[in-house]
Amino acid sequence: MSIAEMDQDQDQDLDGVTDAIKTLALKVGGDVVGVAPVDRWDEFAPEGHRPVDFLPGAKNVVVVGSRGPTAGAWRSPDHRVIEVNGFDFSNDRAIHVVANYIEQELGHYAMQAPSLPTGGQQPPMSLMLSAVLAGLGTRSLAANIILNPKFGLLYYSACITTAKLNVDEMLEQNVCPHPMCVATYREIGKTPCMASCPSDEGGCLDGTIGEDGEIESMSYDRERCVSRSMNFGINSFQKALGEIIDEQDSERRSSMINSDFFSRSCTSVSFFKESVAQCFECMRVCPIGRAERKLK
Ligand code: SF4
Ligand code: SF4
């Protein structure tokens, strides 16, 4: 066999392996899947936060994105119940299946990209960055959320692997702002997401769009957003605990401990099965992905 024929054989093999992984990811819960080579992180992530820092010899990162709330849930008039299902997102399930497939069927190392902080607030590896580098979306004016051109808001998981795979290009065009949002901005000085949560009226979002129709500047008040969008969870547990400890009146302290609010906070901390996110307003008004949420 000539070298050219061997190269062609290897390319076909690469196509086949990459297709098999992507098909599997979509079958087991992913809505989108992309592959990024590890050297793309060098430009954007500091040492200690790159795929090779977690899996020596890593070559690629497979990124899977899945929808959270269903199309029906987006239509609910009660914003508190849009919710996603605890922490068992389908993107996590899909990435576990992909990692097992790579190790058991292909014989290469694979590990889920570590995204939950092991200390402080910074994740070991950013899944938002991973999604961008794998060509699945771009940052938006709404809380920096990575918007996919077809689905809008997605939840991401990633798998670092030593397997050689075909990689995807990053998106050339920014998903946000949508042309309709640019028109709205020109009219009222705000895009729909900014108008739904304006920082000058106690909300979290602000920004400007340049003459070219691209994001010129943006600001997002993360602390304020957490206090509004996540009322039950670790933050509320810590907040309530401080207030309970400070309460001198024993009867009042007892009622605070047994209150619905504190009970719910305890449940969400222990099981993460309580409602942990109660605000999606900036995404509810976002036109990106709306077509996918339009059903009968
Ligand atoms: S999630 Fe809610 S509080 Fe946070 S930026 Fe969006 S609209 Fe504002
Ligand atoms: S509504 Fe969506 S597309 Fe429009 S500016 Fe906000 S995040 Fe971007």
Report the residue among 128, 138, 141, 144 best suited for mutation to probe ligand 2: largest number of ligand atoms under 8 A from its CB.
141
Question: Is residue 140 in contact with ligand 2, taking CB distance under 6 Å?
Answer: yes
> 222: CA distance to ligand 1 center in Å?
9
Per-residue pLDDT of 111-127, as tens digits, reads: 999 988 777 778 899 99
In 29-167, alpha helices (H): 41-44, 51-54, 71-74, 90-101, 127-133
Scan for tokens 């590890």, then name that residue.
Answer: 38
Contact 152, 289 (CB under 8 A): yes
Question: Which amino acid, 122?
Answer: Q
**Residue 263 above 70 pLDDT?**
yes
Question: Is residue 197 in contact with ligand 1, taking CB distance under 6 Å?
Answer: yes
Contact 141, 194 (CB under 8 A): yes
Per-residue pLDDT of 149-160, as tens digits, reads: 999 999 999 999
What is the pTM (predicted TM-score) of this model?
0.86
Give the list of residues 6+ apart from residue 167 with CB closer than 8 angstroms, or none. 35, 36, 37, 60
Give the residue extent of every domain in the chain: 3-161, 231-271
Confidence of residue 134 (pLDDT cuts 50, 70, 90): very high
* Among 23-27, 144-148, 245-249, 267-271, the least confident range: 267-271
Contact 92, 157 (CB under 8 A): yes
Q: Which atom of ligand 1 is nearest to the CA of 279?
A: 2
Q: Which atom of ligand 1 is nearest to the CA of 228?
A: 3
Per-residue pLDDT of 173-188, as tens digits, reads: 999 999 999 999 999 9
